[in-house]
Amino acid sequence: MMAGLREKKKEQTRRRISEAALRLFDERGYDAVTIAEVAEAAGVAKVTLLAYFSCKDSLVLDAVKEDLAAIVVGREEGRSPLDALREHYRRMASNGTGGMDVEELFTRIRVISSSPALLAGLQHAHASQRAELAAALASTLPGDGLVAQLMAAQISAAVTTLQEAFFHRLSTGVSLEEAGRLLGADVDLAFDLLQHGFSSPQGEKS
């Protein structure tokens, strides 16, 4: 379907911008670098950069966005939404990088973890998916939709927390393999908590 030299160049330009951004942010800190500087480093105009990335934080965050709703919608027959999500994250934990550039991933996580603005952006990205996830869950549930909304909110909150814990470990020197192993345990902990609530077994004491 249209190999397209046009598409290819767009891809290249996007990568150039993204790499320049990541490098500069890593060297000098996210807040201290302006998008105009990124544009110059990538050899494009500021307007062009903003055509590729809608805002400053998506220069870093676009590459780590996920689609929870899609996982639910595309789950195997007979599997519950929660199990599908649990399975997805378990696989992720054991998968290592899944073919990604490890060095780049580390840099990205280092940049995100050291910038409050980007951490907030990450939260926001998850929160934005809440509505879609709620819609996907609503079709599997009775009632007026509040339960689906609550579940969606709790799930994305849990996932955000898992991701933060994972990022925090990686940015404090834990190896990728070890972090993956720990993530696997965390995933089960988190999903057990979602499934069975705060009471039992590791829930509150009173």
Residues that bind DNA (CB under 7 A): 2, 4-7, 9-10, 13, 33-36, 43-48, 50-52, 54-57
Tabulate helix, strand, coil % of the chain (nearest 5). 70, 0, 30
Residue 201 found at the interface with a second copy (CB under 8 A): no
Q: How large is the greatest C-alpha to C-alpha distance in the chain, in angstroms?
A: 65
Work out whether the CA dihedral 43, 54, 156, 26 comes out positive or negative: positive
The answer to whether residues 90 and 187 touch, using CB atoms and an 8 Å cutoff, is yes
Look at residue 146 and give the partner it binds from DNA, a second copy, none, a contact being a CB closer than 5 to 8 Å depending on partner kind.
a second copy
3 state SS of 18: helix
Structure tokens at 37: 């500087």
Applying CB under 8 A, which of residues 41, 135, 153, 176 lies at the interface with a second copy? 153
Q: Which of residues 44 and 159 has its CB atom nearest to DNA in the complex?
A: 44
Q: Least distance (Å) from DNA to the CB of residue 111?
A: 14
Q: Least distance (Å) from DNA to the CB of residue 96?
A: 32
Q: What is the DSSP string of 75-126?
A: PPTT--HHHHHHHHHHHHHHSTTTT--HHHHHHHHHHHHT-HHHHHHHHHHH
Q: Least distance (Å) from a second copy to the CB of residue 125?
A: 11
Distance CA 79, CA 182 (A): 25
Look at residue 196 and give the partner it binds from a second copy, DNA, none, a contact being a CB closer than 5 to 8 Å depending on partner kind.
a second copy
Residues that bind a second copy (rule: CB under 8 A) add up to a total of 41
Q: Which of residues 18 and 115 has its CB atom nearest to a second copy in the complex?
A: 115
Distance CA 105, CA 201 (A): 35
Applying CB under 8 A, which of residues 100, 120, 139, 175 lies at the interface with a second copy? 120
Residue 151 found at the interface with a second copy (CB under 8 A): yes
Contacts to a second copy by CB under 8 A: 78-82, 120, 123-124, 127, 140-143, 146-147, 149-151, 153-154, 156-158, 160-161, 164-165, 186, 189-190, 193-199, 202, 204-206
